[in-house]
Structure 1
Amino acid sequence: MARITSGICTSHIPAVGAALDNGKTEQDYWKPVFAGFEWVKAFEQAEKPDVVVLIYNDHASAFDMKVIPTFAIGCGEAFAPADEGWGPRPVPVVEGHPDLAWHIAQSCILDEFDLTIINEMKVDHGLTVPMSLMFGQPAAWPVKVVPVAVNVVTYPPPTGNRCWALGEAIRRAVESYPEDLNVQIWGTGGMSHQLQGARAGLINQTWDKAFLDKLTADPASLRRTQHIEYLREAGSEGIELVMWLIMRGALGADPQELHRFYHVPASNTAVGHIVLRPAVD
């Protein structure tokens, strides 16, 4: 059967993608950011995942105010990079895994999660920047991807508890898929940042690091964290961190932390990154 072998979380900062695409990775400002992902690039080469279930949020590229799904799953054959106003990123087309995606959709919907099924969409930096951080700049991505888009842009976003429960449902779906697949689940977005208003540029390192600690030490508290706390402590865009709880919910109890990286600054946000291994049953 298919199995989830690790969970990875990372920020998906658009300026990181621009720095990579424009050959700025060795500049003094950006070099520490990219150095923090060398460990996971080696990890991915060793792990050789077949599929990544990639949790991300769209930034008005595939969805706008006309259609706002809380949870949407991409079931198509391929997903091209979106033009976010300055042309598509020069990265490979993302290859989907329709069979696994439809299986997850069916399993989760029958498990009482109302996923919106998307057969055609383009994917923006929320998905492609994490791919670049894990795999560099290959001619083709070495994995297939099942994109799961979460609304954390327009109120109301889902609760942390609901995201956690979706992760549990995704794990049940993956483990009931008959093909032998090495599957990873990634949560993306965050950490603390605010892009507008009087608190634009807010970064709360203490809160961010406590969040990373709680992913393994006190995950129950993260399930109960209210939207207002994300807004107050992590800024208006800090709500993206609920997507990390989908990853965490899919790993079950007592995962092992393999790697962690946290860095400020990177554009106007904090970079957070963690790799977890689920416990052996």
Structure 2
Amino acid sequence: MAYIVGGAGVSHSPQLSIEPGGWRAHGDLEQPHLKELNLPSSPRTPEELAREIEIRQIEARHKACQEALERTRDELLEMKPDVLLVVGDDQRELFLDDIMPAVAIFRGESLDDRPPGMEVYPKTMESAYEYYHADVDETYRTVPELGQHLVEHLVENGFDIAQFSEQPTGRSLGHAFTFIYRRLFEGLPRLPLAPIMLNTYYPPNQPTPRRCVELGQGLRAAIESWDSDLRVALIASGGLTHPIIDEGLDRGLLSALERHDHEALAQIPVAGLTEGSSEIRNWIVVGAALEDATAKVVDYIPAYRSTVGSGCGMGFLTWTRSL
């Protein structure tokens, strides 16, 4: 059977690849897309937030993020995986309103990064774009045998899974997946990808936190029943809370993951899992799948970028299993 070697949770925010001097510009709330979100208020006071966006504080937060990325990468490499099973969300990249599956598994031979061009992103993301997309179409090798097995096993055990083996015309593999290769494992040989795509963003069919726990447990059983000698690492891509940072929610999630407290994970209020914060669902799935692994927070950095508390709660966590 296949062996799960462990895994990691890692944020994929553009702030990880924007120099400190660009954080505040990226957080400018005059940007139309931010004004339209009807964002909640930050739990932090205006005085606290003013201190958070002083340049020396931003520089310190940026440095901590780079160090956490490196440590997370190094711990994953020590696990010597053969396959990366990445649980991530698709943000209207492969799936649009013609079909928006709650959970989708790819069972084809490969998926392509079909770069949309920098013009679809805010100009403040210019330095981060290369860590989401290539300049030209680029192919990612996938694991059709594993994809097929996951679909069959999960369906047999009560999960209604969308599956596809052909990439929709004109649509790209999403940045939740490309970031792992282009930024976390930058410059390293690319391991095969097994993508699990969760609809975290778009109502009305996002999986509940409890269903994410169940899905993680189902994924673990499916992987371990796969007739293969390959070593599989699981990665949760995205999060934590953003665009408004909620440190209490983030720290509570990380604590529950370290304790393997599935009931606490299942009871995370859905109301807090909107916009980018919805990517916490990816972490719940991976945490439930790695329930017998040692979970350790590498770091948590509340990376603020404006006086209203916008930014990203940068989370980095690893799970390791004894051989």
* Shorter-normalised TM range: 0.7 to 0.9
Offset at 1:159? Answer: 0.5
How far, CA to CA, are the matches of 1:105 and 1:17 in structure 2? Answer: 35
- Number of aligned positions between the proteins: 259
How far, CA to CA, are the matches of 1:251 and 1:41 in structure 2? Answer: 18
How far, CA to CA, are the matches of 2:82 and 2:177 in structure 1? Answer: 17
Matches within 5 A, 1:180-199: 180-194=229-243
Relative to structure 1, is the Cα distance of residues 225 and 207 closer, same or farther in structure 2, using a 3 angstrom cutoff? closer
Is 1:163 matched up with 2:209? no
Is 1:127 matched up with 2:177? yes
How far, CA to CA, are the matches of 2:76 and 2:281 in structure 1? Answer: 24
Offset at 1:85? Answer: 4.0
Matches within 5 A, 1:119-268: 119-121=165-167, 122-138=172-188, 140-141=189-190, 143-156=191-204, 157-194=206-243, 202-217=244-259, 218-228=261-271, 230-231=272-273, 236-253=275-292, 255-265=293-303, 268=311
Matches within 5 A, 1:266-277: 268-277=311-320
How far, CA to CA, are the matches of 2:304 and 2:8 in structure 1? Answer: 19
Relative to structure 1, is the Cα distance of residues 5 and 35 closer, same or farther in structure 2, using a 3 angstrom cutoff? same
Letter in 2 for 1:116: A
The answer on whether the counterparts of 1:61 and 1:84 sit within 8 Å (CA) in structure 2 is: no
How far, CA to CA, are the matches of 2:5 and 2:90 in structure 1? Answer: 26
Query: Which ranges of structure 2 fall in alignment gaps of 5 or more residues?
Result: 20-57, 120-131, 306-310
Aligned to 2:36: none
Query: Which ranges of structure 1 fall in alignment gaps of 5 or more residues?
Result: 20-26, 195-201
Aligned to 2:26: none
Q: Give identity over the alignment, percent.
A: 24
The answer on whether the counterparts of 2:105 and 2:195 sit within 8 Å (CA) in structure 1 is: yes
How far does the alpha carbon of each residue in 1:138-192 deviate from its partner, in whole angstroms, 9 at most, with x for none? 3x41x11110111112113111111111111111111111111111111122111
Offset at 1:31? Answer: 3.7
Bigger drift between 266-275 and 181-190 goes to 266-275
2:101 corresponds to which of 47, 53, 69: 69
Is 1:42 matched up with 2:70? no
1:93 corresponds to which of 117, 139, 149: 139
The answer on whether the counterparts of 2:258 and 2:296 sit within 8 Å (CA) in structure 1 is: no
1:113 corresponds to which of 126, 134, 159: 159
Aligned to 1:199: none
TM-score, scaled relative to structure 2: 0.73
How far, CA to CA, are the matches of 2:72 and 2:179 in structure 1? Answer: 14
Letter in 1 for 2:294: Q
How far does the alpha carbon of each residue in 1:57-84 deviate from its partner, in whole angstroms, 9 at most, with x for none? 1111111111100000111211122424
Offset at 1:35? Answer: 1.6
Relative to structure 1, is the Cα distance of residues 171 and 64 closer, same or farther in structure 2, using a 3 angstrom cutoff? same
Relative to structure 1, is the Cα distance of residues 18 and 118 closer, same or farther in structure 2, using a 3 angstrom cutoff? farther
The answer on whether the counterparts of 2:299 and 2:315 sit within 8 Å (CA) in structure 1 is: yes
Offset at 1:33? Answer: 1.9
The alignment partner of 1:37 has SS state of: helix
Aligned to 1:197: none
How far, CA to CA, are the matches of 1:147 and 1:14 in structure 2? Answer: 21
Relative to structure 1, is the Cα distance of residues 85 and 66 closer, same or farther in structure 2, using a 3 angstrom cutoff? farther
The answer on whether the counterparts of 1:61 and 1:82 sit within 8 Å (CA) in structure 2 is: no
Offset at 1:50? Answer: 0.6
How far, CA to CA, are the matches of 1:209 and 1:55 in structure 2? Answer: 21
